[in-house]
Structure 1
Amino acid sequence: MNSPITGTAAGVPFTALPPDGDGAAPLIVTWHMLDAPRSDAAFAAALPMHGLPAWRVHLGMPMCGARMVDGNMDAGAELMRKDVLMSVLHPFVQQAAEEFPAALASIRAQLPVGDGPIGVLGGSLGGAVALQILAGTDIPVFAGAVVNAAIRMRSVVDLFPGDYPYDAESEKAVDSLDFLPQAAVIGDRAPLLVVSGAQDHPALRADALQLAAAAGERAELLSIPGLEHPLADEPGIEPAPQRPTTREVDAGLTTWFRRHLAQAG
């Protein structure tokens, strides 16, 4: 088993897990959660997908991992208290999606991944980034997957205390991150695995079931008994041993991407 490689790609921190063997191999890119695991290194440990003949490059989300302010999550927590949607959820997804093309070009310059279609994977808020890449870009993708994903941002906002004070700007922002109306487009772009924990937040689970049904015949739902929303123990910043339920997610993702790797060229 090869050791992780850490670095930055156009300013985006990453943890890369190489495939066994030498030579160029396909690329799978991931975006982590804001819950645990909440860094690229911790997400790589939670969902390593060992044994895949592909590079797994786990990207850091804004203000997480190596991009935390003063080495902790306090600044991000303060932004959540200020305005969870307009200060965190929407801008984090927007920034991660906007910085990805340059990061992808940098990854391809640094690692032997070739220029074929990629796989994309996101957990929770990172799932919204993966869905945005599928719905809003023309980057070739051979397969996608999301885990306990932020499929409909209104459902995520509703998890926070109090009634969110929507106005015209925030209504537009939250609707731009509702991927259910774009399910057919996403399903046409690439095969999609929707992983949903049976103990995830009920609204997020309902969104997952709806996305899997609406994305067409190439979409599949993988329900994991006993899986809650987080995939790792707190604090979720450093790599940690896999939980048993997360190991099931990892196995399902490994099988899914292995099935579709032939489409990566």
Structure 2
Amino acid sequence: MDSPITGMAAGVPFTALPPVGDSPAPLIVTWHMLDAPRSDAAFAAALPMNGLRAWRVHLGMPMCGARMVNGSMDAGMELVRKDVLMAFLYPFVRQAFEEFPAALASIREQLPVDDGPIGVLGGSLGGAVALRVLAETDTPIFAGAVVNAAIRMRSVVDLFPGDYPYDPGSEKAVDSLDFIPKADAIAAHAPLLVVSGELDHPGMRSDALRLVDALGERSELLSIPDLAHPLADEPGIEPAPQLPQAREVDAGLTAWFRRHLGS
């Protein structure tokens, strides 16, 4: 396969994988996890979706990969300690979502992608970004997919120690990132593949099943045996060999997007 292309799109780092066949070709945009793989380059290695006649452009999340502070995730972990929801989870999703329109325009200027609908994919916290794009924008999208996604931000907050001290502001923020009530808007926008590891955190696994039920015929569930939450080994920042469970996820995503590119 051709070597990855790295660059910046309106200030957002990206790793792009060229399509099979002639360009211009359709575009699939992804947002990575904050667990491993936790950078655009590492996510591209874990889920390359080789063989698609589409550009796969993996965007970097805030303070990850090329945007790490002093080359580490320590600054992000300090935000977790300060306030896991309002200093970390919520603003990370908000920033990635708000960066998307300008990043997409920049990608279209830099790479020979066509001007048709795009695909979107997100893993874990990046899944919340993809779901927000599906639920809250009019960007033309031919298909979406999420992997072990942050479908209800309350379930993610519950993974951290202690009882989170919700107040009216944080209640509003966390409810804005609950995508089960937004299922009708998502379903109206594009078909969605929900990939869920059978060993994912129980709350997140339950949310995946609930979202598929709420989406109805516009969604499919792909359950991956023996897959916990991460898709790569630690530290998950640099590209690494594809793990067997990630290979199974990758095959399912490739088949899903190929089907919808064909239609």
TM superposition score normalised by structure 2: 0.99
Matched, 1:193 2:193: yes
Aligned-pair CA distance for 1:216: 2.1
Matched, 1:212 2:212: yes
Q: Which residue of 2 aligns with 1:243?
A: 243
Task: Return the alpha-carbon distance in structure 2 between the equivalents of residues 45 and 147 of structure 1.
Answer: 15
Aligned-pair CA distance for 1:133: 0.1
Q: Give the % identical residues.
A: 81
* Other structure's SS at 2:162 match: coil
Task: Return the alpha-carbon distance in structure 2 between the equivalents of residues 175 and 82 of structure 1.
Answer: 20
Task: Return the alpha-carbon distance in structure 1 between the equivalents of residues 147 and 183 of structure 2.
Answer: 16
Task: Return the alpha-carbon distance in structure 2 between the equivalents of residues 213 and 50 of structure 1.
Answer: 30
Matched, 1:98 2:82: no
Task: Return the alpha-carbon distance in structure 2 between the equivalents of residues 216 and 209 of structure 1.
Answer: 11
Moved more, 192-201 or 18-27: 18-27
Task: Return the alpha-carbon distance in structure 1 between the equivalents of residues 13 and 88 of structure 2.
Answer: 19
Matched, 1:202 2:207: no
* Other structure's SS at 2:70 match: helix
Q: Which residue of 2 aligns with 1:34?
A: 34
Q: Is contact 1:197-1:223 (8 Å) kept?
A: yes
Task: Return the alpha-carbon distance in structure 2 between the equivalents of residues 104 and 115 of structure 1.
Answer: 11
* Other structure's SS at 1:230 match: coil
Map Cα deviations across residues 96-148 of structure 1 (whole Å, 9 max, x no partner).
00010000000000001111100000000000000000001000000000000
Q: Which amino acid aligns with 2:155?
A: S
Task: Return the alpha-carbon distance in structure 2 between the equivalents of residues 45 and 188 of structure 1.
Answer: 31
Aligned-pair CA distance for 1:12: 0.2
Q: Which residue of 2 aligns with 1:43?
A: 43
Alignment of 1:175-194 (within 5 A): 175-194=175-194
Task: Return the alpha-carbon distance in structure 2 between the equivalents of residues 261 and 3 of structure 1.
Answer: 23
Q: Which residue of 1 aligns with 2:229?
A: 229
Q: Which residue of 1 aligns with 2:4?
A: 4
Q: Which residue of 1 aligns with 2:170?
A: 170
Which consecutive aligned stretches of 4+ in structure 1 deviate over 4 angstroms post-superposition? Answer: none
Q: Which residue of 1 aligns with 2:141?
A: 141
* Other structure's SS at 1:69 match: coil
Q: Which residue of 2 aligns with 1:107?
A: 107
Q: Which residue of 1 aligns with 2:59?
A: 59
Q: Which amino acid aligns with 2:112?
A: P
Q: Is contact 1:198-1:226 (8 Å) kept?
A: yes
Q: Is contact 1:125-1:149 (8 Å) kept?
A: yes
Task: Return the alpha-carbon distance in structure 1 between the equivalents of residues 256 and 165 of structure 2.
Answer: 40
Unaligned runs of 5+ in 2: none
* Other structure's SS at 1:122 match: strand
Task: Return the alpha-carbon distance in structure 2 between the equivalents of residues 23 and 178 of structure 1.
Answer: 37
Q: Which amino acid aligns with 2:64?
A: C
Q: Is contact 1:185-1:215 (8 Å) kept?
A: no
* Other structure's SS at 1:220 match: strand
